[in-house]
Structure 1
Amino acid sequence: MAENAENQVVTADELDALEARLAEVETYLHLDEKRGRVTELERESAAPGFWDDAEAARRTMAELSSARSDVEAVDRAREELADARTALGFAAETDGEEAAEFGAEATELARGLTKTVDELELSSWFTGEFDHGDAIVTIKPGQGGLEAQDWTFMLFKMYMRYCARRGWKVTVNDCPAAEVIGIDRATFTVEGKDAFGMLRAEAGVHRLVRISPTDAKKRRQTTFAGVEVIPVLPDDIDIEIAPDDIRVDVYHASGPGGQGVNTTDSAVRVTHLPTGIVVTCQNERSQIQNKAACMAILKARLYELELQKREEALDEIRGPKTEIGFGNQIRSYVLYPYQMVKDLRTGVETGNVDDVLEEGNLDPFVIGYHRWATGNAS
């Protein structure tokens, strides 16, 4: 739906356009087939002995949850569309305050429907092997010295809020405090519907312009941080790692801001000697758990590396590998001398920087990226 002024009522043509988009989504999602699959999986899950093979049962339940979610979302959208048409019809048949109330109801329903259709369209564009699965996100400071470490922490908090908004589960694998300000890096795993598909829009260099909080002369500073997004590999993809190819180090864990996590050597650093890839995890309380988390992340990175060697195309997983500095940013966050967040790929922008950085409202940028990347930008 086109953006309406506060006092402008949604039109029948706009509802027709939403209905057309919804019909396309149903086609992309193969909704009739998906309804049948939901029925089939529900029958399987109710069968005796279903949980005898726990791993297979979990995969079935995950597929059922995803398929059921799509079906229910489309059904709700159809109901919202019908309600909006009804309210708009009442608005046309009445006058005065009553007509205004029905018109406002129709408009509000249409706005909610637009968001629903946006989400369904977005999911239908995810055709990559891992798009509907979980993601591993790593944030690293780039050019800018101490400021870049602070910027890395700001981005980390922004993504934590974004994941919370979407109802995703986050496990922080590694987030060591820097010596003076901010953090040295952050790695976290995100579990939820379409997590990798959504978050791969964030892969790249992020640029911050602001008055330096560490400069006594209060000069403007430009800093950079890089975001890497890779998929969590499904259990049926096995990456073999020879024991002699890794070195495991343990050390005291510490959290962002300098606070201690525990007083034992539970943090683990795994170095893959043939490639030089280093993974650190300190979120869990035991070395065994942290090593397991490290190995999962290492396998995902080795898989990505193998894809890069085979295809010579980095865009499939995390976008082009570039220096984390000037000229390579995908998005700019300007806090001074004016306020604006702008995605340089899509042109999506907002002047409400707090809504992005403090509230984690990244959906306009994420959806805008995928519209642009799939050729569906209006």
Structure 2
Amino acid sequence: MAINNSLLEKLEAIRLRFEEIGQQITDPEVIANTKKYIKLNKEYRDLEDLVNVSKEYKNLITNIQSTKTLLKDESDEEMREMARAELDEMEEKLPAMEEDIKILLLPSDPQDGKNAVVEIRSGTGGDEASIFAGDLFRMYTKFCERKGWKVEVTHVSEGTAGGYKEVVFNVTGNGVYGVLKYESGVHRVQRVPQTETQGRVHTSAASVAVLPEAEEFDVVVRTEDIRKDTYCSSGPGGQSVNTTYSAIRLTHIPTGIVVTCQDQKSQLKNLDKAMIELRTRIYNLEYQKYLDEISSKRKTMVSTGDRSAKIRTYNYPQGRVTDHRINYTIYNLPAVIDGDIQGLIDRLQMEENAERLRESEM
């Protein structure tokens, strides 16, 4: 089996870069430059997995070569038999490891490691759509709990029969956006609504938008470009929430973007959360151009490039969930609605990686 020398050369260049960054992030001058330090630290973490896999890969190649040498020199038939079995096993492993490395070598979206701002809005279907938006919110909340991610609600508009007309929340953790970005798009539900007396199945919808949270140095928002309004919060939260001017509305005058936050009793805390969301929305005006470009090439990213695209159907009578981007159906709807969506995301990531590999080899 031929050794892939071009792959080994790439891996050696990455190992040298990894060691160089390792030295830089201990330099007091770099540590003092917060922006540079954060950027280098992220690059170091991103390269770490690749460096570890490349060590395994190089060890495997060394072992293959030494086993071939042993087969040439060894005269004992029993030893030769054992060596042949070992060699077959190792040579079988090699192509799969090379595929994994090629995927790791693909340039990642720099947004993938970021936190996310998620919006869920009820669509067609009246009260049932609001109830479904509530189901989706609980699904994501439970999924985030399993991942050890923190969920903070910033804005809620409740439906008249339960659920939400709109709910906006921040998710913080490790690599949040890179996972949740596949959820952007229109989600449909097919079931008999609680209000339906004839037992007929209705179709309702809710839209999900996942935005990578902008960090302070990603976008500069000038104070003079923001109009700030305060008002009394509405909804649950007790007397103090409803009688103090703790809710915040920020309007970004150049773009017309408006964000509100009334989740906290403290006006300062609401202002902090509203600023995160405002920066994110301004940043995403530019980021959307990139999404539009890649969505035209990849079916897995139809979701984020075109948020009006129907991406998934939850069919209750048949207990099935279908992801339309990759034409993938599973029959465990109760588990999915209970937050078990990692399997769906894994399939989407696999399909996207396959598409990106094809692109890189063209």
Q: TM-score, normalised by structure 1?
A: 0.67
More helix by proportion, 1 or 2?
2
Deviation, 1:35, is 2.9
Which residue of structure 2 aligns with residue 363 of structure 1?
Answer: 345
Asked if 1:319 corresponds to 2:283, the answer is no
The corresponding residue for 1:8 is none
* More moved, 150-159 vs 51-60: 51-60
Q: Provide the secondary structure at the position in 2 that maps to 1:184.
A: strand
Of 180, 185, 191, 1:204 maps to 185
Matched, 1:295 2:269: no
Distance 1:56 1:309, change over 3 A: closer
The 3 A distance-change label for structure 1 pair 195 and 259 is same
Post-superposition Cα deviations, 1:58-116, rounded to whole Å, max 9, x if no partner, equal 4433333332244346657899999xxxxxxxxx98xxxxxxxxxxxx9xxx9xxx8x9
* 1:351 Cα deviation after fit: 0.8
**Deviations 1:276-297, CA, capped at 9 Å, x for gaps:** 4332234455222322322232
Instruction: Please tell me whether the aligned partners of residues 186 and 307 of structure 2 are also in contact (alpha carbons under 8 angstroms).
Output: no
C-alpha displacement at 1:209, in angstroms? Answer: 0.8
Alignment of 1:1-378 (within 5 A): 27=7, 30-48=10-28, 51-54=31-34, 56-72=36-52, 124-125=105-106, 127-241=108-222, 243=224, 245-252=226-233, 258=236, 263=241, 264-273=244-253, 275-306=255-286, 315=295, 318-322=304-308, 328-336=309-317, 338-358=318-338, 359-361=340-342, 362-368=344-350, 370-371=352-353, 374=356
Q: Which moved more, 1:355-364 or 1:55-64?
A: 55-64
**Secondary structure of the structure 2 residue equivalent to 1:278:** strand
Deviation string, structure 1 residues 164-213 (Cα, Å, up to 9, x no partner): 44444444333454343012322233344543333322211111111212
Contact 1:266 1:286 in 2 (8 A): yes
Give the direction of change, closer, same or farther, for the CA distance of 1:351–1:40 in structure 2 (3 Å limit).
Answer: same
Please state how far the C-alpha of 1:275 moved relative to its aligned partner.
4.4
- Shift of the 310–159 alpha-carbon distance from structure 1 to 2, 3 Å rule, reads closer
Identical aligned pairs, as a percentage? 26
* 1:343 maps to amino acid: D
Q: Distance in 1 between matches of 2:270 and 2:10?
A: 40
Q: Please tell me whether Structure 1 or Structure 2 has the larger radius of gyration of its CA atoms.
A: 2
What is the alpha-carbon root mean square deviation over aligned residues? Answer: 4.5
May I ask how many residue pairs the two structures share in their alignment? 325
**Does structure 2 conserve the Cα–Cα contact (< 8 Å) formed by 1:253 and 1:266?**
no
